[in-house]
Amino acid sequence: MKTALLICDHVSPVFVEKHGTYPVMYQQFFKELVLEPFFVCDDHFPEVNDFDLFIITGSRYSVYDAIPWITRLKILIREIAANGRKCIGVCFGHQIIAEALDGKVKKASVGYLIGVHTFRMKQSLYDSEKSNYNVLMLCQDQVSKLPSNAKLIAGNDQCPVGMYVIGNQFFAIQGHPEFTKDYDRDVFLSRREKMGDQKIEEALQSLEKDPDTEWLYQLMMKFVRTIEAF
């Protein structure tokens, strides 16, 4: 399966040596796929018909920012939908899929969500018997309105739209299964002044829980391999 990784940001240079770049992180997570990276944040875009699967990364930007590459990415998402391709969205990717397909995104009233968070499954996906999962988070925007044809899969009180699917084409998750706990911690500690001591301390305590990285990976790969709509 030809897979394009649509990279929406750069890892801060201070973290690259220890944690690697986004292409490295995503390739380590999606270990059965060969990812071809496109830095869409630098206006480097693929042709929709050249790939079967698109993966959209996280970003420091907001999907409602009036930036040309963000507008162009929304157009590409609509082309993906129209051409029957598959797409996975992670954090910013989860949000921009919603915005591109008649949903809405806004800054969350709860502020930043960082560290390990637990989400409840609203309905089973691909016959999974798991009722909740843990995932690393680093965000302050959230989907406030789902696209009309989306199905909500998971959420919690602080983040009601934690995971959704659209048919067999789009899988979106508000979280970072590709992150390690070390990377998440290093990033949020570097933003203590912006996030506040209380958020930081709660996030540090949350890291005692392990994210369900492998389970989330297997769930995404079931999506990749599934022909029928959920």
Tens digits of per-residue pLDDT, 175-189? 999 999 999 999 999
What local confidence, expressed as pLDDT, does residue 229 receive?
Answer: 53
Output the pLDDT for position 63: 98
Catalytic pick from 87, 139, 159, 178?
178
Verify whether residue 79 is a known catalytic residue: no
The tens digit of pLDDT for each residue in 7-44 reads 999 999 999 999 999 999 999 999 999 999 999 999 99
- Residue 8 bears catalytic tag: no
Sorted by where each begins, the domain ranges of the chain are 3-225
pLDDT at 129: 84
Q: Is 201 assigned a catalytic role?
A: no
- Interval 46-104: pLDDT, tens: 999 999 999 999 999 999 999 999 999 999 999 999 999 999 999 999 999 999 999 99
In this prediction, residue 228 carries a pLDDT of 58
> Which one of the listed residues 8, 41, 91, 139 is annotated catalytic?
91
Which of these, 199, 142, 204, 200, lies nearest to 173 by C-alpha position?
142
Please tell me the pTM assigned to this model: 0.96
The class of domain 3-225 in CATH terms is: alpha beta
Tens of pLDDT along 131-167? 999 999 999 999 999 999 999 999 999 999 999 999 9
**Residue tagged active-site, from 19, 94, 117, 176:** 176
